[in-house]
């Protein structure tokens, strides 16, 4: 079975603020990403290509907190993180704190495939990008008025992010997929937290925390209050439970999201694909922008 799941972040998604028009816009972009990723799998493409295709579309949408539309840090700058992992080889690549990369997920893949490293950061990661022929974009490319207003509000209240107001508080994006060869992949991309300071790096670019893939168990992309996902090493924890105890990926995900994470105070969710292509999507927040499609005919987009 070929299958793909995507997410556009979990958190407080206020039904009051979510107008019908707003909801249509979110659903349309999620659908576009889901179907484009699925089309890659359907034409015999790899799970790596499918996840990158889906994540790139979400990065290019101004609605989600990744690529265009990313949140601003305390200094009013967009700092982007992304990671990808190949379940067949357990190779991985990630970037943290890049400021001029239109599609961080593509740079993460270059780190995996063309460098001896797993994680590159900051200006150094952009130097690597230049050496790979990537065209940098000006910081202003990432600007959206909505995110700027969120920063102003967060600065005014001196808090990290504004949970009440923000549709998609943790609206990191991600994808997991299984291709025809049975290979799994996971990809995640984010702008982090509004008003973040001190070069903070969250869970998304951390292999094991926000992103993990292993053909022997499953592939996971996470979204939520990153620090808790890092402390619980959520993505690797789910894969380790499947591999070591034989529990299903769906049950492992449910347990980790609703017990382990809740126990330490973490909010958010995960999307998971297991080695047979079974998809699961779990969250302990009010909602999670998400989509799932497989070759058994499942095709759904959901928010709450």
Q: Which residues bind a copy of itself (CB under 8 A)?
A: 85, 90-92, 96-97, 115-125, 127-128, 160, 197-202, 206-209, 212, 226-227, 230-233, 236-237, 240-241, 244-245, 264
- Going by DSSP bridges, is the β-strand pair 91-98/119-121 parallel, antiparallel, or unpaired? parallel
Least separation, in Å, of the C-beta of 49 and a copy of itself? 20
Residue for token pair 């249509």? 24
- Of the pair 3, 190, the CB lying nearest a copy of itself is at 190
- Of the pair 180, 231, the CB lying nearest a copy of itself is at 231
Taking alpha carbons only, the member of 214, 180, 142, 166 closest to residue 42 is: 180
Least separation, in Å, of the C-beta of 291 and a copy of itself? 27
Residue 172 annotated to the active site: yes
Give the list of residues 6+ apart from residue 108 with CB closer than 8 angstroms, or none: 82, 83, 84, 93, 94, 95, 187, 189, 205
- Of the pair 20, 244, the CB lying nearest a copy of itself is at 244
Residue 206, burial from CB neighbour count under 10 angstroms (0-12, 13-18, 19+): buried
Residue of 46, 53, 172, 190 marked active site:
172
What single-letter DSSP state applies at residue 101? Answer: -
Least separation, in Å, of the C-beta of 176 and a copy of itself? 17
Backbone angles phi, psi at 294, to 5 degrees: -145, 175
Least separation, in Å, of the C-beta of 74 and a copy of itself? 9
- Of the pair 27, 231, the CB lying nearest a copy of itself is at 231
What single-letter DSSP state applies at residue 118? Answer: S
- Of the pair 15, 90, the CB lying nearest a copy of itself is at 90
Cα–Cα distance list, 69 to 59, 77, 78, 82, 252 (Å): 8, 12, 9, 15, 32
Contact 282/257 with Cβ under 8 angstroms? yes
Residues assigned a catalytic role = 172
């Amino acid at each position: 079975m070929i299958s793909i799941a995507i997410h556009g972040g979990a958190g407080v998604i206020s039904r009051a603020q979510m107008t019908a028009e707003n909801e249509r816009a979110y659903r349309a972009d999620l659908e576009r990403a889901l179907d484009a990723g699925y089309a890659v799998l359907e034409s015999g493409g790899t799970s790596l290509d499918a996840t990158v295709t889906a994540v790139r579309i979400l990065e290019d949408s101004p609605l989600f907190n990744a690529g265009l539309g990313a949140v601003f840090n305390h200094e009013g700058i967009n700092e982007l993180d992304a990671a990808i992992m190949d379940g067949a080889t357990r190779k991985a690549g990630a970037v943290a704190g890049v400021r001029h990369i239109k599609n961080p997920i593509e740079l993460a893949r270059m780190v995996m495939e063309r460098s001896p490293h797993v994680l590159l950061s900051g200006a150094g990661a952009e130097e690597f990008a230049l050496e790979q022929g990537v065209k940098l974009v000006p910081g202003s490319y990432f600007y959206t008025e909505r995110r700027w207003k969120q920063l102003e509000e967060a600065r005014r209240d001196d808090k990290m992010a504004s949970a009440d107001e923000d549709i998609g508080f943790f609206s990191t994006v991600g994808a997991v997929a299984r291709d025809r060869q049975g290979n799994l992949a996971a990809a995640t991309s984010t702008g982090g937290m509004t008003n973040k300071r001190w070069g903070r790096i969250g869970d998304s670019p951390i292999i094991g925390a926000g992103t993990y893939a292993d053909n022997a168990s499953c592939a996971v992309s996470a979204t939520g209050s990153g620090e808790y996902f890092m402390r619980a090493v959520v993505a690797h924890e789910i894969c380790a439970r499947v591999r070591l105890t034989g529990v299903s990926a769906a049950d492992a995900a449910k347990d980790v999201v609703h017990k382990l994470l809740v126990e330490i105070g973490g909010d958010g969710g995960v999307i998971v694909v297991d080695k047979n292509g079974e998809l699961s999507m779990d969250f302990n927040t009010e909602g999670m922008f998400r989509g799932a499609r497989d070759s058994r005919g499942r095709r759904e987009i959901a928010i709450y």
